[in-house]
Amino acid sequence: MLRLFGSLTCFALAVIIAVGVTPLASADEPAAVATDPYAVPETDDAAELAAFINKLQQNAPAPPRRRPQTDEERAAFTRFLEHRNKAPKAIKAAAEKILAVETDKTSDAYRLATMVTLGSRMAELMSAPPQKQEAIVGEVRDYLSGKEQLERDDVRLIMQATQALARGGNRALAAKSLKEFTAIVEKNQKSDLPGAVQFLRMQLLNVVPDEEKTQLIADLKQELVEGGLSQQSIGSALELCQAIEQSGDTELAGKTYKEFGELAQASDDENVQKAARYFLGPGRRLSLLGNKMEVLQGTPLDGSVFDWEAYRGKVVLVDFWATWCGPCVAEMPNVRKNYDLYHDRGFDVVGISLDRSKAPLEKYIKDKDVPWVTLFDGEPGEAGSMAQYYGIRGIPTVILVDRDGKVVSLKARGPKLGQLLSELIGPPEAKKEAG
């Protein structure tokens, strides 16, 4: 035993000498102490404290994309959890220290600390009593009013405050505060925030009462039309169209999409011209209600020729879907049930698949024995794509066409499909029992 230990000691010493490994420190040498990255620096230097905050914010580990499976992924997940638990407290403590020691309220460190402190209060804002909410909103208002030049982070703070109030149920204060904050941004002459005022005014659509929404929509639309579309305002125009669509006014939404699409087409800016399709497609789809669906084309999976005119005289459900879409697959039994009930009396379905390849689609059609024609729409954005032509932004999207070829519904899913078919064709006939 002793001989073996001695041999190993000699061997280890030989390895150290050969490869140059540094021997362990002696008891007289101080051992290195690992520094805690979340320990707030023991200093009254505001700039140093601000650097500490910036470092924690910038070095935040990315959240895991999947459940950790390897040692490396488990270690990364541990670092992520540690940062999530420790960083906010450390940042808040450093910010409070800056506010206590910094005398120059115009310094970068003081502004950073103020922003951090206000940001940490947004969580309180959602559940605080109304009086406390008013007080926090006042702090945000004072902070924004006191800044010589507003920045993008300030716009984010405005949105955090507005969303916290709305989620907490105080929509009246959310609307009032957002109007005040927007006015402050608009008056700040030194701010270089193109489109910020327009963006904030657009957010009012989410919090103002319905009686104000109609006039706000009209005002925003007029501003955008008169100002012309630019790369900065194109997003606001699209958001406005979507807000009108979500409000349920399909006719106005269709007209507004079309109007902005035509403005984009007429622009001298090539990038704005390219964006026209994001308006023209939804405009066509929403304008279908009460009108004929003249255009429907594509290639059936079996390679045959598709003739939309051959469906005249039938009630047809045009179904944009994909095998990878959970809600689409969940709706399929309902479509099949109604197909079986009404097909013999003039009901048909045209499926338009947005699958990225034919293989999973062909397998699904075969496994489920889908009896109606399915068109493969190809890659999104391809010429002739029906999804692009009608501005399909999400699936399933369905369009129900009556015997005259006119669109009667853009929401014929679930029980609604059966109700509409009963109205258009008549109640389903009871099956005769075998005698």
Residue 222's pLDDT band, with cuts at 50, 70 and 90, is confident
Q: Which two tokens stand for residue 375?
A: 């068109």
State if pTM tops 0.75: no
Neighbour count for residue 267 (Cβ, 10 Å): 18
Highest mean pLDDT among 103-112, 124-133, 346-355, 424-433: 346-355
Averaged pLDDT, 317-336? 96
Of 196 and 40, the structure prediction assigns the larger pLDDT to 40
| Alpha-carbon separation of residue 3 from 9, 12, 16 (angstroms) | 10, 14, 20
Dump pLDDT digits (tens) for 270-303: 999 999 999 999 999 999 999 999 999 998 988 8
pLDDT at res. 53: 93
Residue 380's pLDDT band, with cuts at 50, 70 and 90, is low
Contacting residues for 433 by C-beta, under 8 A, at least 6 apart:
none
Instruction: Report the range of poorest mean pLDDT among 83-87, 212-216, 268-272, 393-397.
Output: 212-216
Dump pLDDT digits (tens) for 151-193: 888 898 999 999 999 989 999 999 999 999 999 998 887 777 7
Neighbour count for residue 7 (Cβ, 10 Å): 10
For the chain, what percent of residues have pLDDT higher than 90? Answer: 55
Averaged pLDDT, 11-36? 47
Averaged pLDDT, 373-400? 84
State yes or no: pLDDT of 106 exceeds 90: no
Strands across the sheet with 299-300, in order?
299-300, 373-376, 347-353, 315-321, 397-401, 407-409
Averaged pLDDT, 90-104? 92
Output helix, strand, coil percentages for the chain, rounded to the nearest 5.
60, 5, 35
**Closest by alpha carbon to 240, among 226, 225, 78?**
225
Domains of the chain in start order, with CATH, are 209-287 (1.20.58), 299-425 (3.40.30.10)
Residue 70 burial (10 A CB sphere; 0-12, 13-18, 19+): exposed
State yes or no: pLDDT of 8 exceeds 80: no
pLDDT at res. 381: 53
Q: Which two tokens stand for residue 175?
A: 């609307």
Of 31 and 164, the structure prediction assigns the larger pLDDT to 164
Dump pLDDT digits (tens) for 120-159: 888 888 889 999 999 999 999 998 998 888 888 889 899 9
Alpha carbons 100 and 268: distance in angstroms, whole number? 53
What are the CB-based long-range contacts (under 8 Å, 24+) for 371-376?
371/339, 371/343, 372/339, 372/348, 373/300, 373/306, 373/349, 374/300, 374/301, 374/350, 375/297, 375/298, 375/299, 375/300, 375/301, 375/306, 375/350, 375/351, 376/298, 376/299, 376/300, 376/301
State yes or no: pLDDT of 12 exceeds 50: no
